[in-house]
Amino acid sequence: MKTPVRYQSPAEALSIVQSGQRVFVQGSAQTPTCLLRALAAEAPRLRDVELVFITVYGDIHVNRPDLSESFRLNSLFVSASIRQDVAEGRADYVPVFLSEIPNLFNQGVLPVDVALVQVSPPDAHGYCSLGVSVDVARSAVNNARFVVAQVNSHVPRTHGDGLIHSSRFHALVECHEPLYEARFGDKAGPEEEKIGIHIAGLIEDRSTLQMGIGAIPDAVLRSLTGHKDLGMHTEMCSDGVVDLFERDIINNRYKKIHPNKGVAGFALGTRRLYDYVDDNPAFQFLDIDYVNDPHIIRRNPRMVAINSAIEIDLTGQVCADSIGTYQFSGVGGQMDFMRGAALSEGGKPIIALPSRTAKGVPRIVPFLKPGAGVVTTRAHVHYVVTEYGIAYLYGKNLRQRAKALIGISHPNDREALERACFERFKVF
């Protein structure tokens, strides 16, 4: 017989949160906005509550300047919702590989007192789903002393590691609101489309794909309609995978790890994507310490990792998380997949970026900006792709790398880059 579920008011449920505690907040499309709005209302009774999370979206309420004595934000990845807070010193950033975040919880480096998550309604057996953001939320729930769940009928029921019995929750709050949506495909311009075509030419049939976040991965997916028997093993998937699944282009038939299943840590896109993964056994949403483990990634042959960058210098150093000292995003899973793909039989780790920003600032540069973070070292970089072509850096010396990168830079930047190359390496 199905056990009835007792729902509480947000204030009643969040009474479990006390001053000085560390509270985990689920992120991406699953950011529990109702709970965060209610938590902000609890500010008068709270002091020094640390909120830890990866990417949160929308208005999270608890980052208001007037609540800074009540809440401290400690982010493991910087998303748009808190970028200004980090820049102004109201929030902190922890550089860490995405694959290692569960260890912070598992090993007690960041003990979790309370986890705030958003889940699907209980099924006939009492199980709720973490939906499209299993990633680090699974390990946070496993380690938290208390778990408060926002139950939302808009949350997809996904297969994999995200199923949690309702009895595990210490409090349940019913709040039905649409999930956050992101439209990466709308941001693609002619440069991104050309990059997508270049990368599609590098991808062989029966390859397994990892796609990072942004317009370029979706442009790549749109260019794969002539491919066959592709697989998916990725930390994140977006709308671009739906058409390829429906056309049987991504069918996961030849994967070595989880054959016939597309593996992801989280999904971020539009409602079309969320509806497609709902109760879809072709998708497995798994704990990120497994999905992003380079030793797991490498076991799929022809693993192709596609990741973006903010800028890259002439030796191949990749800055992907900051603009100088301005923290734009985070380390994330780029290195997890770059290394895993490099070790895969026939694998291809790819860094993709337009040659210039929308404002005309060069992205291939003699030196990274002062304070820029190196997410992927020059020793890890194999392929770099811009709209002007492909540079293969693996096995090349510094002079050869510089020449290859200048060859795919914006034509108007090449003369200055050639001068910088000559000044540094005494040759061009």
Buried b (16+ CB within 10 A) or exposed e, 98-133: bbbbbebbeeeebebbbbbbbbbbbeeeebbbbbbb
Three-class SS of residue 370? Answer: coil
Provide the angle, in degrees to the nearest 10, between the axes of the packed helices 215-222 and 190-202. Answer: 60
Q: What are phi and psi of 22, to 5 degrees?
A: -105, 125
Catalytic residue among 100, 192, 235, 387: 235
Q: Which residues contact 403 (CB under 8 A, 6 or more apart)?
A: 421, 428
Q: Which residues contact 324 (CB under 8 A, 6 or more apart)?
A: 369, 370, 371, 372
Q: Quickly tell me which residue has 């309609």 as its tokens.
A: 225
CA distances from 48 to 19, 44, 324 (A): 6, 11, 30
Q: Quickly tell me which residue has 């929030």 as its tokens.
A: 91
Look up 50 and say whether it is catalytic.
Answer: no
Alpha-helix runs per DSSP H in 181-239 = 190-202, 215-222
Q: Which residues contact 186 (CB under 8 A, 6 or more apart)?
A: none
Q: Quickly tell me which residue has 């729902």 as its tokens.
A: 7
The CA distance from 256 to 295, in Å, is 13
Question: DSSP string covering 132-176, please?
Answer: TB-TTHHHHHHH-SEEEEEE-TTS---SBTTEEEGGG-SEEEE--
Three-class SS of residue 233? Answer: strand
Kindly state the tokens that stand for 253: 């038939």
Buried b (16+ CB within 10 A) or exposed e, 194-207: bbbebbbebbeebb
The CA distance from 409 to 402, in Å, is 10
Residues assigned a catalytic role? 235
